[in-house]
């Protein structure tokens, strides 16, 4: 596809339910990022992959959050036992590595509402 | 601890005038700075960037200025147009270390008719 694709666009989960959010990056992009954006805030870094390697997961808020990118392309962000504070828009971005420039291209996001 | 700060939550500017959005950062390791624009229900879209070896980068109506000694950057939009109404995020990365991009909280720009 032409851009970063995320699914589902909207997800309503009952508290305690597990959810999985999918990101299809731009073909050929080696870097992939996950961000969490709460209402009225800027995107907060969660985790970062270079190909299949998860190089940084320092932003994951708890061990209930898990991300993977097993073949260096599609990535899944999984949240176990969702809590109300997990309600946010989850943004995925991908970036090419070219001469050290960094321009992340974002998907439309998945809006997660935990009720 | 906010490493990238946008202290103005919102800004209103008359159509045709100059819009100036400001951003401050605290991490001296940052060497690459970006501005993103976001419309409601869409992901942020890249607008313009600047490397720390420059103090100015211009692209059409958009110019970004970087003052490294003050750890400050600004985005100038001139002339402002109605379609510029959006949330603008300042972001920074330390390319010498990794590709992680840190965002500010954003400034909502309203272009008034």
Closest residue by Cα to residue B95 from A40, A100, A38: A100
Whole-number Å distance between alpha carbons of A77 and A95:
18
Q: Which of A102, A105, A110, A111 to mutate to test the interface with B (most CBs of B within 10 A)?
A: A102
DSSP A24-43: EPPTT--EEEEEEE-TTS--
Q: Which of B41, B99, B102, B106 to mutate to test the interface with A (most CBs of A within 10 A)?
A: B99
Q: How many CB atoms lie within 10 A of CB B70?
A: 9
Residues of B with Cβ-Cβ distance to A97 under 8 angstroms: 99
Per residue of chain B (113 residues), what is the pLDDT tens digit?
789 999 999 999 999 999 999 999 999 999 999 999 999 888 999 999 999 999 999 999 999 999 999 999 999 999 999 999 999 999 998 876 676 889 999 999 999 99
Whole-number Å distance between alpha carbons of A82 and A84:
7
pLDDT surpassing 70 at residue A100: no
Burial class for A58, CB neighbours closer than 10 Å (0-12, 13-18, 19+) = exposed
pLDDT attached to residue A103: 79
Are A43 and B100 within 8 A, CB to CB? no
Are A48 and B99 within 8 A, CB to CB? yes
pLDDT tier at A101, thresholds 50, 70, 90:
low
| Residue A35 sits at the chain B interface (C-beta within 8 Å) | yes
DSSP B35-58: EEEE-TTS--EEEEEEETT-SEEE
From its phi and psi, is residue A51 left (phi > 0), alpha (psi between -120 and 50) or beta?
left
């Amino acid at each position: 596809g032409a851009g970063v694709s995320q699914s589902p666009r909207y997800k309503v989960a009952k508290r305690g339910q597990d959810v999985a959010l999918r990101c299809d990056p731009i073909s050929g992009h080696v870097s992939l990022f996950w961000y969490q954006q709460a209402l009225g805030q800027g995107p907060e870094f969660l985790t970062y992959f270079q190909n299949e390697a998860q190089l940084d997961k320092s932003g994951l808020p708890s061990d209930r959050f898990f991300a993977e990118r097993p073949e260096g392309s599609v990535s899944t962000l999984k949240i176990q036992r969702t809590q109300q504070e997990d309600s946010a828009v989850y943004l995925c971005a991908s970036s090419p590595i070219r001469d050290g420039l960094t321009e992340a291209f974002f998907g439309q996001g998945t809006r997660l509402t935990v009720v | 601890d906010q490493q990238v700060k946008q202290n103005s939550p919102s800004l209103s500017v008359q159509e045709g005038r100059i819009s100036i959005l400001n951003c401050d950062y605290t991490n001296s390791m940052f060497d690459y700075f970006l501005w993103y624009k976001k419309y409601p229900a869409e992901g942020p879209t890249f607008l313009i960037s600047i490397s720390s070896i420059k103090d100015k980068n211009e692209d059409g109506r958009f110019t970004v200025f970087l003052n490294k000694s003050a750890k400050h950057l600004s985005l100038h939009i001139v002339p402002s147009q109605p379609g510029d109404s959006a949330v603008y995020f300042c972001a920074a990365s330390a390319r010498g270390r990794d590709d992680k991009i840190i965002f500010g909280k954003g400034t909502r720009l309203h272009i008034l008719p």
